[in-house]
Structure 1
């Protein structure tokens, strides 16, 4: 493996934070350890806990080894990023309270015009809507506030039921704006709106910060449904199976790196690992490329199959050349 071309990790989705966020676990869960949390601050905790959930029952040392349906496809950037940095990501997802001044708003508009996908919550822009071109968000926003617990997603074709009701601002979609997620009732209020702008898209979400109110750990199912859709659109492969993964790009194609974090002992640590992984936790995974593959090879076993078994506590690296 050391002699192989490992390339560079592909992270198509950027999580946008405020450059002065003060978010750090050693700060007792508050900004800089000094200030009270806002709902935006809590979103930062909830998003990270939701993208990389801790599973103490199934994964030993779960603070370090986590399995996520979304994979490891994210970078974190800040509102101090250059235009070049913004343009390098297919999608940008706003997280927390991110200040937007005139200069930063102009960068975001340019980013979308050039083909980027901007995912932003109404609570993050309600005070700065006038800094963006008219029609940029593709909606007429009202002052009305409502609650719901059940929505329908055209992304997945599923009804999404939340643990508790969420609050959202009522919006009316402008002509030409898509509404892929809406309340599952007779009103069918838009909850996610997609507006084409230039070569890109603006994705406006209406439930407050896409999280459970007052929670620092739970994003809404609407959030997970949307993030899975972003991954489906951005990744060169689809991955089916309960497995942690990331994707690398090398000179000849793509590497799909699969980590099975299960079955290595609930009480094991890095100092005292369990030496005999439990085979009942072996994971069956199917990788489907979205391009015509010239060759397929798994680095450890030499297998040329796109469906493979990753033993408990082990990894597999599938190279798919294009």
Structure 2
């Protein structure tokens, strides 16, 4: 690490860097940051999102400031107690379209101040030689493979375990690559399908109140077709029809049928064997959200957390484990305890065996 830092410092002195972060940090603050609210409202209309209240705007401005200055800033003075937690969630779960919008906003801020610099920059790998970097290089990860993985995981910890990276490296990768999980998150106020647009600019053209009823009721066009004509999201069209008190036609099931995904299979694997929903989604090649939607439709209770190890989930047992055994094996430390137990025969207690096992490792 010392060698890498010294080589980077020498290369920076020799070649310089295209970004002057000292100037950026003196220029951009919460007060001086420019944010296009009109463009954000139109983005929400296109994707069927709610614009949210001041909390969400503060969250977006925090992320925008991070992109510009390259550092994590403290929450603004009017932020709530969970603002910092929401920020870390946002870095992992922000929709890709919203990330692209914020990067464009950051570039617009740079141009407004006459700063001709790239938004982000990484020193070339050739600047450091003779050093084996720990972990996985971001350039070795295929973006499409990462997107496929993030569509099935439920947490940043699970993504880190699958990719062999720390949680902060996962967030940095999402920041630099504009990649996110597809799982909806309450951290950004459920940017999903709850839009009730009231902005005048949304109600134009085919979306105008006097124009929207005809293609839906008289021409019998589908929501997706109307959304294509209006260059917006079908959820926006649906919300506008509800707002105009237009009766909606019954919607077909959005989830395509899969003969290999049945209620019996999901009940056996998820409820009885207690495997995780994310693991089952990867096994069947569907998203985590797809599988949980099916489970709720089949009245299967969703467990509150997916991050607990289940020591018996993969065993093909002829008898169902007792509730007490299921409770024990759901512990995060179950595997470590089982490994310890099978290595300490002849000791009167688990503690005594653990001490002896620890001492044997020290001697090695």
TM-score range, shorter chain: under 0.3
Question: Structure 2 length as normaliser, TM-score?
Answer: 0.22
Q: Select the structure that is richer in strand.
A: 1
Structure showing greater radius of gyration is 2
- Calculate the TM-score normalised by the size of structure 1: 0.24
Higher relative contact order (CA 8 A, sep 6+): 1
